[in-house]
Structures are given as structure tokens and as C-alpha cells.
Amino acid sequence: MVTKYAAIARDLSALVDSKEPGERIPSEQELAARYRVSAMTVRRALQILIESGRIEGIPGRGTFVREPAVTKPLTSTSFSETMRASGRVPSSRLLSAAIEPATEEECWQLGLEPGDAVLRIRRVRYGDDVPLCLEHARLAAARFPGLLGHDLDASLYAILRTKYATVISRARFEVAATHASPGSAQHLGIDTTTPCLRTRTWGRASDGAIVEHTTSLYRGDMYRLTLEDAPGGK
């Protein structure tokens, strides 16, 4: 048997689908009168939509339709591919790009030798002009000569594939919950209390070499990471 609040949540989901992000939906009092239920029942229905990322309540202002969150599978799919799959237009803003001596940690992460050079590329990644991710990629400079001469506002994986015949075929991920520093929050257009997801990615080429190590900070209010696993047979 479907509960009253679940039925209302389903009905409100259709209402949200008919509105644009940022549009206000009726207040708890208005919805309680419309459905002839208590404010508590309406509140439980709204909470379902809040937890699913469909709406957000702003104290003193009301409840509004949210921009749909991006869902990214934990695979070697690039940011640009993820954006296109979600119906968004990807873009980037380059913050810095340089060739510098690799640190001891970077040598360990990328399998480099002391004294080797590393490419460091920092970008803000956008979907439909909304900042979603702050990205810091590190790559072995010797493997990708001239990389900084390419358009680094474009997909980095596409550049590696088309200009260097390097395809990121496998990746390892680490994910942690965090908050943005004041500087990072400014780049992402959020405040420092907004939950974020920090990922570390090690991308391997088809020859098995780790060619890319990237740290990314995703907006937790706009991004979902998914993992699909199939149980192994006996």
C-alpha cells in the first residue's frame, strides 16, 4: 500500500518536471491545503524530493527546483563525455599549466625517476556554464611533449587520444567527502559549508603504464558518483 506522503511525493515529482531550475514550488501550507493532509505529511513528501536532489529549501524564501545533478560512473569516462551523456555542454577554464620538476610523491604516483619533469594542469570544469569541478592533473612530461601547446580548455583525454595515441583504458579511484577551501569555493561558486567530493584518479594507458594522476574537487550539491558491480560467479 502506498503511503500518503509517498503518493504526494510522486505527484510533486511530476510538478517539478514541469518547472525550470530555480522556480518556486508551493509552500507546505499550500500543499497541505491542496492535498488535505497535515503539514507533517507534506514535509515527509518534500523530504523525499530533497534527498533525491530534485528540490531545495531556502530558509525564509521557500522551496525551489534544483538544477539536476550530474551522475558520473566510476570508470575512465572523461568529464566531457560525462557532461554530454547528461545532456550538458562541457567547457573548461584553464587556471595554470606548467612543466616543473616532479616531487617525490609525483615520482611515486606516476612511476617517474628523480629529476624527471611533470606537467601540472589546473582547470575549472563546467557543464552548461555552471562550475562543477576543480581539477588538478599531473602527467609525465616526457611522454607528452608539446602538450602545453594544445588547447587545454578542451578535453584532455581527447588530446591524449588524438595527438599522442594514448587512451586511458583503466583507472583507479579514491573518493572522500570534504569541504572546499575558500579559494576553491570561489572557483566553484559555492560557500565553504557546501559538501564536496574529492577524488583521486590514476589513469592507465593500454600498455599498463600510469600516465595521469588527477585530483578533482566536485560540488556535492551538483554531482553524484555511481558504481555498478556484478557479483562474481562461483
| DSSP letter for each residue of the chain | ---HHHHHHHHHHHHHHTS-TT-EE--HHHHHHHHT--HHHHHHHHHHHHHTTSEEEETTTEEEEPPPPEEEESSS--HHHHHHHTT--EEEEEEEEEEEEPPHHHHHHHTPPTT-EEEEEEEEEEETTEEEEEEEEEEETTTSTTGGGS-TTS-HHHHHHHHH---EEEEEEEEEEEE--HHHHHHHT--TTSEEEEEEEEEEETTS-EEEEEEEEEETTTEEEE----PPP-
In a domain, residue 129? The reply is yes
pLDDT per residue as tens digits for the range 117-130:
999 999 999 988 98
pLDDT per residue as tens digits for the range 86-132:
888 989 999 999 999 999 989 988 988 988 999 999 999 998 898 99
Could you tell me if 60 and 155 lie in one domain? no
Could you tell me if 53 and 74 lie in one domain? no
Mean pLDDT on 36-44? 89
Could you tell me if 177 and 196 lie in one domain? yes
In a domain, residue 232? The reply is no
Could you tell me if 177 and 222 lie in one domain? yes
pLDDT greater than 80 at residue 191:
yes
Give residue 42's identity as a one-letter amino acid code.
V
Mean pLDDT on 5-18? 86
Could you tell me if 122 and 28 lie in one domain? no
Could you tell me if 48 and 95 lie in one domain? no
Could you tell me if 50 and 8 lie in one domain? yes
Backbone φ, ψ for residue 193 (5° rounding): -90, -10
**Nearest C-alpha neighbor of 92 from the set 143, 137, 129:** 129
pLDDT greater than 60 at residue 13:
yes
Could you tell me if 107 and 123 lie in one domain? yes
Report field, pTM of the whole predicted structure over 0.75: no
Could you tell me if 55 and 129 lie in one domain? no
Could you tell me if 57 and 30 lie in one domain? yes
**Nearest C-alpha neighbor of 143 from the set 76, 204, 77:** 204
pLDDT given for residue 83 in this prediction: 83
pLDDT given for residue 181 in this prediction: 93
pLDDT given for residue 125 in this prediction: 93
pLDDT greater than 90 at residue 48:
no
Domain limits for position 106 = 70-226
pLDDT greater than 80 at residue 156:
yes
For the domain that residue 189 is a member of, what is the CATH number? 3.40.1410.10
**Nearest C-alpha neighbor of 12 from the set 37, 29, 31, 33:** 31
Could you tell me if 53 and 160 lie in one domain? no
Domains identified in the chain, total number: 2
Could you tell me if 16 and 59 lie in one domain? yes
| Whole-angstrom Cα Rg for the chain | 22
